[in-house]
Amino acid sequence: MGAILKATAPVVPTGEQVFFRSFFGIPVILAWLALKGELASGLRAANPLAHAYRGIVGTISMGCGFAGLGLLPFPEATALNYAMPLMTVIFAAMFLDERVGLFRLSMVALGFAGVLVILSQRLSVGVGEASPEETLGAMLTLSGAAFGALTQIFISRMVLTEKTSAVVFWFLVTASLLSLVTLPFGWVVPDAGTSGLLILAGLFGGLAQIMLTSSYRFADASLVAPFDYASMLMAIAVGWFVFNEPTSTRMLAGAAVIIAAGVAIILRERRLGIRRGQRAGTPR
């Protein structure tokens, strides 16, 4: 999906990309629910206002991320997006009053050090290798990650009363409608090939959402989450073979630091969860 969005970025505005990604993801979600026999119950919204807030924040995140993807090398945009779970830890402490221990804070700090390593090659316009477009792309990508982290905070509250399918479906509906606001700012009529690619982006996005949601049904989050970092290997391959984008040593070093910090947090939480479970099962 990301590769398609990057390939179409030179000819299709970001708002239009958001529309295609959202609108054509809806049929996939509906078909999935229909196959499960949950079409009616799966779309019921207990708190419509919460869906609206989540939709607004999520759409901003998507727009910033897509715009950054069009301006940055593919692997670099992917690596900067890994800042999202680090920001989620901070926002959870700020807005959900979650206790964040010294270990997690240290790993978050380490992760942000990796982000700075990557950014260092994009914050030197005029004196280094960065261009104004790439600097803007880096800022947009990080902004998308920040809004994405806020979205996770909304979702963590919503899932207490809302079904996951409803959260996904109403987000896609909201994003589709909000993207239409950008119509006056230069939407284009894409040719058949570009239209086909954009429709595929929506379908792939919907399938990815279903697969990710299903994966958490069949395995613990601590097992599933680290596999997200496999996207770095895929991004490097796509960047090299599809977009002819060489990967810098600095970017790889920064990405490695971010991934190491993220995996350390996941493994630590898994161990703590096992211990809590053991204590809960111990007779007193």
What pLDDT does residue 277 have?
52
What pLDDT does residue 284 have?
40
Q: Which domain holds residue 198?
A: 1-281
The contacts of residue 264 (CB under 8 Å, 6+ apart) are 107
The answer to whether the beta carbons of residues 80 and 142 sit under 8 Å apart is yes
What pLDDT does residue 92 have?
87
Cα gap 243→110, rounded to integer Å: 30
Helix axes 83-95, 132-158, angle to 10 degrees: 50
Count of other CB atoms within 10 angstroms of residue 206: 24
Query: What are the per-10-residue average pLDDT scores of the chain (284 residues)?
Result: 95 97 95 88 90 95 96 93 90 85 90 91 64 90 95 88 89 96 94 96 92 77 76 92 90 93 83 57 48
- Residue 23's closest CA among 218, 129, 212, 171? 171
Give pLDDT tens digits for 222-261: 677 778 888 899 999 999 999 999 888 989 999 999 999 9
Total tally of structural domains belonging to the chain: 1
Is the torsion defined by CA of 148, 153, 157, 160 positive or negative? positive
The answer to whether the beta carbons of residues 16 and 7 sit under 8 Å apart is no
Per cent of the chain over pLDDT 90 is 56
The answer to whether the beta carbons of residues 64 and 147 sit under 8 Å apart is yes
Instruction: Report how far apart, in Å, the C-alpha atoms of 183 and of each of 17, 111, 128, 264 are.
Output: 11, 38, 36, 43
pTM (predicted TM-score):
0.89
**Cα torsion at 19, 25, 27, 33 (round to 10°)?**
-140
Cα gap 216→19, rounded to integer Å: 27
Cα gap 16→5, rounded to integer Å: 11
- Residue 16's closest CA among 142, 140, 195? 195
Q: What six digits make up the tokens of 124?
A: 């030197």
Cα gap 55→178, rounded to integer Å: 9
The answer to whether the beta carbons of residues 277 and 244 sit under 8 Å apart is no
Q: What six digits make up the tokens of 111?
A: 């992760």
The answer to whether the beta carbons of residues 240 and 110 sit under 8 Å apart is no
What pLDDT does residue 174 have?
96
CA angle 33, 36, 42 (to 5 degrees): 45
Phi-psi region of 283 (alpha: psi -120 to 50; beta: other; left: phi over 0): beta
Cα gap 195→92, rounded to integer Å: 39
Cα gap 264→106, rounded to integer Å: 10
